[in-house]
A and B are shown apart, each in its own frame.
Chain A
Amino acid sequence: MSYLEYTVKHTPSGLRKVLYLNWPLALLLTAVAAIGILMLYSVAGGTFNPWAEPQAKRYALGFAVMFFVAMVPIWFWRNMSVLAYTVSVLLLIAVELVGVEGKGAQRWIDLGFMRLQPSELMKVTLVMFLAAYYDWLPLKKTSRPLWVLLPVVLILVPVALVLRQPDLGTSILLITGGGLIMFLAGVHWAYFAAVLAAIGGLVTAVFKSRGTDWQLLADYQYRRIDTFLDPASDPLGAGYHITQSKIALGSGGWTGRGFMQGTQSRLNFLPEKHTDFIFTTLAEEFGFVGAISLLMLYALIIVFCVTSALANRDRFSSLLTLGVAVTFFLFFAVNMSMVMGLAPVVGVPLPLVSYGGSAMLILMLGFGLVQSAHIHRPR
């Protein structure tokens, strides 16, 4: 397939593309990033270092990346999908061999100027790959077992590698994200029903296997599950994070305790307050109003993506946009559920807000693809 398949005569070209950018989406992303920088400034005790300033620079870089990716026609990216996926898988294998240990998990490769987390990259390249796969696959073959099995295997390969790191959060995101793209592509309902049933069985197996020779998860993962199920059981140990996090959220009340006035975060009761738990600081300092506002911004981002995808008649573009939206959704949904005590602590950052380079750049890359699809949509 070539770009000739696309109706290019109405597609904007040159600098005019800038006008066709999905500007509301770009503004929403910037607004969320600004909130993140503000919160990083607050948790650092009112200084731009060590977090707010690097984060701002990274967002600027991320925005440039998005812009650059958006300018490149979407068919180019579709043609790059298989390569991107392959490179990501190879990087995941590389990280296994030469990766740098961080918090008990092998997660990044030090590139000198930045720490690359292949598992983050995988989140976007897997979406690209699956979108391209279903774009290529004739519709009537979609639900045939062999053609269902293939993408499942291609999802499970990176998942297995990520699990080995071990990074439960990213694994869950990859499986769920991949599964949802298959669902969007039109794979038959029955497969999903079967998978859900299988998951039910697996969860049972996971719990049953605990303490036996064939234990399926690491001890710390079991402890996280225990903690999630009953945080009060270990208030000073593993349950400490979730308990303190809920206290911070709850004590914010309607309007919060004021910018930089959150006692839980300022006095270090909050764990990981600049990364995974940054939402609690926001909720503490700006209260329900602040927290719901951020949630609404996230929801609007999803709405803009979904609208753009549904209006796009190109199959790859639609699937890609929806895939990025789903990945983004999973990020904040899992993170917020986690800090609010609805899900176990699995180590998923709050997108665009948590401090962290790779995650932000990769997300902006994803949104660059969304923008490209938007600009180069068939008209």
Chain B
Amino acid sequence: MKRPTRDNTESQRRITRRGLVLGGGMAGFVGLLGLRMRYLQVDQADQFRLLADENRINIHLIPPSRGRIFDREGRVIAENIPSYRINIIREQAGDLEDVIARLSKLVRLNPEELKKAREDLAKLRGDTPVTVADRVSWEDISRVAVNAPALPGVTPEVGLSRHYPMGEDYSHVVGYVGPVSDRDLERIDAPDALLLIPRFQIGKIGLERRREDTLRGKAGTKRVEVNAAGRVMRELDRVEGEAGADIQLTLDNALQSYITARLEGESAAAVVMDCDTGDLLACSSTPGYDPNLFVRGISQADYSALLDNKYRPLPNKAVQGVYPPGSTFKMVTALAALEDGQVDPNETVYCPGFLKVANRRFHCWKRAGHGNVDLHRSLRESCDVYYYDLALRVGIDKIAEMAKRLGLGLEHDLPMTSVAGGLIPNKLWKATSRGEDWRIGDTANAAIGQGYVLSSPLQLAVMTARLATGRSVSPRLVRSVDGVEEPPNRGEPLGLNENTLREIRQAMYAVSNNRRGTAYGSRIIEDAFRMAGKTGTSQVRNITAAERARGVFRNEDLPWERRDHALYVNFAPFEVPKVAVAVIVEHGGGGSTTAAPIARDITLQALYGDDPPLDAYPSKDRGRIKTQQEQLRSRLDRRGSEDSDRA
């Protein structure tokens, strides 16, 4: 040992002292670490556990299946069918363009869809499935499945999508569904989280939209565990949703299809209503469109074609279209005058072919005049002068009041979009909305359903049903929801004089069954089903003095859009009214020549529930009717088979 011991001892002592200080420091720090561990893992454990679960658990919504829609017999109007789509997951695809190229050899890819898919593929996260082809056939799916090894990242997917097997028949009533748009989201105050699911479909128009809440159902949820990259590792549990409620309508598929076929080629609408319960048996507007096109996402070309069609396929003319009711309004004027005691049914009015009101001539449709006309004859032969005279006596306000009682000029509560209220003018209305005084001439115009008066085919059908029953029957479209019946709208008695009503009904009977009635040519021969009706021809233009002087203004000579609207309302059978029908053919010419035969055919179809026997028709018409029935039948059959191909 060279070193002095003292030095070494001193050194050891110092190291020991400082070593102990340092050891104490280290021990203190270890204690600090321990305390921190305790704080994080014991005191704060619950909070961090929650955060860990928030990290790893995602809640996914399971879209519920939408409620189906049936007709009154339980036949399908709207259903959900499996739909196949092809998705690509980018991060699994490798060379994306190569895979798309190979896929396009197997399946026809829509360029528009493909463009959108490319954008999504570039934008979205790599593990998000992006749809490149929607609604592909089962064959396409099989081809893709067989070639799966050559198509990395391509996955077929099965979902449910809305299908309307009746095609255009219900396009206006039921409407269609489509993907949620930004505008939809703006419209809804507190959107259901479901609406944010890509490609989730909601009702866009018609019943689908109005009863969206009933049909949609409730979303189920599944909790999945995801990793930090967001990839789903496994499903933890799921809560099944609630399917939407099925809706049964009061409509009848067979009748609806028949009417759509019968009205084909016209811009027209027809409403058939059960007089007793108010059930709408048919509600048709033509031309229609195939709602399935909209579900798929209609192409710009198809949509433009619909918009440009001068027959206007998109609006629902039956409830949304408002027209001057023309002579079909005469029952209202008559009832108002009779109830007010202004006229006796047997009292006659002389018709010289016109009535001079405030220095202006109001013409009767019959230039030569009807001579002496009582109530019965005035309806049967649709004398205008009689109604000018009555209206001037009773005044517009009473007429308007009666019109409202009969269901005109008010919005019936039906689950369709844009149900129109129409317009029944009175003095107050003109003063407030036009700022003008009511003129006596306005009353004369209103008396024959012209001028300001506007009503929809639906309202006319309601009016007819109320005339037939004397009760305030209201229309009903939904028969039951998930098997629970909705109450029918039989309505309260209107409180009209029964004798007066009978006079009106008998006059309406004469319209169709009296040799001099305006609709005699479209009568029903079968005694049990005889109908009572009223024709209407409403002008869409003013007849100029020059035209009147020439005396020729035949509808056939005018361009289509200037021709008169043809209307017909009726109920049948006359003794025990079952159905009320309203038909309007836009620019169809005369009510008796165009609308009445259609209404007759519809009435018979509704009463027989099938093609009526030819005996029900007047003998001279039977040959023509037979040909027409055969044509319609073959058209309906053809459509039926097309549809089964499609589904």
Judge whether A247 is part of the interface by a CB distance below 8 angstroms: yes
Judge whether B439 is part of the interface by a CB distance below 8 angstroms: no
Bound CA–CA A296/B546 (angstroms): 114
Q: Are A295 and B56 in contact (CB under 8 A)?
A: no
Q: Are A299 and B27 in contact (CB under 8 A)?
A: yes
A18, chain B: closest CB distance, angstroms: 27
With A246-B48, A250-B49, A288-B42 as known contacts, state yes or no: A309 contacts B7, CB within 8 Å: no
Judge whether A233 is part of the interface by a CB distance below 8 angstroms: no
A264 CB contact (under 8 Å) in B47, B55, B226? B55
With A263-B55, A267-B227 as known contacts, state yes or no: A252 contacts B45, CB within 8 Å: yes
Q: Which of B12, B15, B47, B55 has the most CB of A within 10 A?
A: B15
- Which residue of chain B lies nearest to A252 when distances are taken between CB atoms in the complex? B41
B41 CB contact (under 8 Å) in A183, A268, A291, A309? A291
A interface, size bucket: 35 or more
A81, chain B: closest CB distance, angstroms: 17
- List CB contacts (< 8 Å) of B40-58 with chain A: 40-42, 44-45, 47-49, 51-53, 55-56
B7 CB contact (under 8 Å) in A138, A291, A336? A138
Judge whether B10 is part of the interface by a CB distance below 8 angstroms: yes
Q: Are A288 and B37 in contact (CB under 8 A)?
A: yes
Residues of B within 8 A of A36 (CB): none
With A139-B11, A186-B15, A267-B233 as known contacts, state yes or no: A248 contacts B52, CB within 8 Å: yes
Q: Are A250 and B40 in contact (CB under 8 A)?
A: yes
Chain B binder among A9-17, A204-212, A313-321: A313-321
Q: Are A250 and B19 in contact (CB under 8 A)?
A: no
Bound CA–CA A333/B37 (angstroms): 13
Bound CA–CA A246/B16 (angstroms): 38
Q: Are B10 and A253 in contact (CB under 8 A)?
A: no
Residues of A within 8 A of B38 (CB): 288, 292
Chain A binder among B28-36, B64-72, B487-495: B28-36
Q: Are A139 and B10 in contact (CB under 8 A)?
A: yes
Judge whether A259 is part of the interface by a CB distance below 8 angstroms: no
Residues of A within 8 A of B49 (CB): 250-251, 253
Q: Mark A259-294, 1 if CB is under 8 A from B, else 0.
A: 000011001110000000000000100011001100
- Which residue of chain A lies nearest to B47 when distances are taken between CB atoms in the complex? A250
A127, chain B: closest CB distance, angstroms: 14
A264, chain B: closest CB distance, angstroms: 6
Q: Are A7 and B1 in contact (CB under 8 A)?
A: yes
- Which residue of chain A lies nearest to B2 when distances are taken between CB atoms in the complex? A5
A322 CB contact (under 8 Å) in B10, B15, B30, B47? B15
Bound CA–CA A148/B229 (angstroms): 53
With A310-B19, A313-B12 as known contacts, state yes or no: A5 contacts B3, CB within 8 Å: yes
Judge whether B609 is part of the interface by a CB distance below 8 angstroms: no
B58, chain A: closest CB distance, angstroms: 11
B479, chain A: closest CB distance, angstroms: 52
With A251-B48, A299-B27, A342-B36 as known contacts, state yes or no: A184 contacts B55, CB within 8 Å: no
Judge whether B208 is part of the interface by a CB distance below 8 angstroms: no
- List CB contacts (< 8 Å) of A309-363 with chain B: 309-310, 313, 315, 318-319, 322, 326, 329, 333, 336-337, 340, 342
Residues of B within 8 A of A126 (CB): none
With A253-B49, A254-B45, A264-B55 as known contacts, state yes or no: A340 contacts B22, CB within 8 Å: no
A340 CB contact (under 8 Å) in B18, B23, B33? B33
- Which residue of chain B lies nearest to A180 when distances are taken between CB atoms in the complex? B22
Q: Are B41 and A283 in contact (CB under 8 A)?
A: yes
DSSP class of A's interface residues: helix, strand, loop or mixed? helix
Judge whether A132 is part of the interface by a CB distance below 8 angstroms: no
Bound CA–CA A309/B37 (angstroms): 29
Bound CA–CA A165/B175 (angstroms): 70
Residues of A within 8 A of B53 (CB): 263
Judge whether B14 is part of the interface by a CB distance below 8 angstroms: yes
Residues of B within 8 A of A251 (CB): 45, 48-49, 51-52
B612, chain A: closest CB distance, angstroms: 71
With A183-B18, A295-B33, A322-B19 as known contacts, state yes or no: A250 contacts B227, CB within 8 Å: no
Judge whether B158 is part of the interface by a CB distance below 8 angstroms: no
Q: Are B51 and A250 in contact (CB under 8 A)?
A: yes
Question: Number of residues in B with C-beta < 8 Å to the partner?
Answer: 45
Q: Are B41 and A287 in contact (CB under 8 A)?
A: yes
Judge whether A162 is part of the interface by a CB distance below 8 angstroms: no
Residues of B within 8 A of A310 (CB): 15-16, 19-20
- Which residue of chain B lies nearest to A2 when distances are taken between CB atoms in the complex? B2
B266, chain A: closest CB distance, angstroms: 63
Q: Are B16 and A186 in contact (CB under 8 A)?
A: no
B608, chain A: closest CB distance, angstroms: 69
Judge whether B169 is part of the interface by a CB distance below 8 angstroms: no
Residues of A within 8 A of B233 (CB): 267
Judge whether A185 is part of the interface by a CB distance below 8 angstroms: yes
Q: Are A329 and B18 in contact (CB under 8 A)?
A: no
Judge whether B225 is part of the interface by a CB distance below 8 angstroms: yes
Residues of B within 8 A of A365 (CB): none
Q: Are A337 and B48 in contact (CB under 8 A)?
A: no
Q: Are A267 and B12 in contact (CB under 8 A)?
A: no
Q: Are B41 and A253 in contact (CB under 8 A)?
A: yes
Residues of B within 8 A of A267 (CB): 55-56, 225-228, 233
Bound CA–CA A333/B233 (angstroms): 35
Q: Which of B7, B38, B55 has the most CB of A within 10 A?
A: B55
Q: Are B45 and A184 in contact (CB under 8 A)?
A: no
Judge whether B26 is part of the interface by a CB distance below 8 angstroms: yes
Bound CA–CA A298/B52 (angstroms): 28
Q: Which of B2, B11, B49, B228 has the most CB of A within 10 A?
A: B11
Q: Are A313 and B8 in contact (CB under 8 A)?
A: yes
Bound CA–CA A291/B20 (angstroms): 26
Q: Are A263 and B52 in contact (CB under 8 A)?
A: yes
Residues of B within 8 A of A139 (CB): 7, 10-11, 14
- Which residue of chain B lies nearest to A319 when distances are taken between CB atoms in the complex? B15
Q: Are A340 and B42 in contact (CB under 8 A)?
A: no
Residues of A within 8 A of B18 (CB): 183-184, 186
A217, chain B: closest CB distance, angstroms: 25
Judge whether A306 is part of the interface by a CB distance below 8 angstroms: yes
Residues of A within 8 A of B20 (CB): 310
B618, chain A: closest CB distance, angstroms: 82
Residues of B within 8 A of A250 (CB): 40-41, 44-45, 47-49, 51-52
A263 CB contact (under 8 Å) in B1, B19, B26, B56? B56
Judge whether A249 is part of the interface by a CB distance below 8 angstroms: yes
Residues of B within 8 A of A138 (CB): 7
A39, chain B: closest CB distance, angstroms: 16
Task: Report which A residues bind B (CB closer than 8 A).
Answer: 5, 7, 138-139, 180, 183-186, 244, 246-254, 263-264, 267-269, 283, 287-288, 291-292, 295, 298-299, 302-303, 306, 309-310, 313, 315, 318-319, 322, 326, 329, 333, 336-337, 340, 342
Task: Report which B residues bind A (CB closer than 8 A).
Answer: 1-3, 7-8, 10-12, 14-16, 18-20, 22-23, 26-27, 29-30, 32-34, 36-38, 40-42, 44-45, 47-49, 51-53, 55-56, 225-229, 233
Q: List 26 A-B contacts (CB under 8 A).
A: A5-B1, A180-B22, A183-B18, A184-B15, A186-B11, A246-B40, A247-B51, A247-B55, A249-B37, A249-B40, A249-B48, A253-B45, A254-B45, A263-B225, A267-B55, A268-B227, A288-B37, A288-B38, A292-B34, A309-B15, A310-B15, A310-B16, A310-B20, A322-B19, A336-B33, A340-B36
- 5 additional A-B pairs beyond A250-B45, A326-B26, beta carbons within 8 Å, are A247-B52, A252-B45, A295-B34, A315-B11, A318-B19
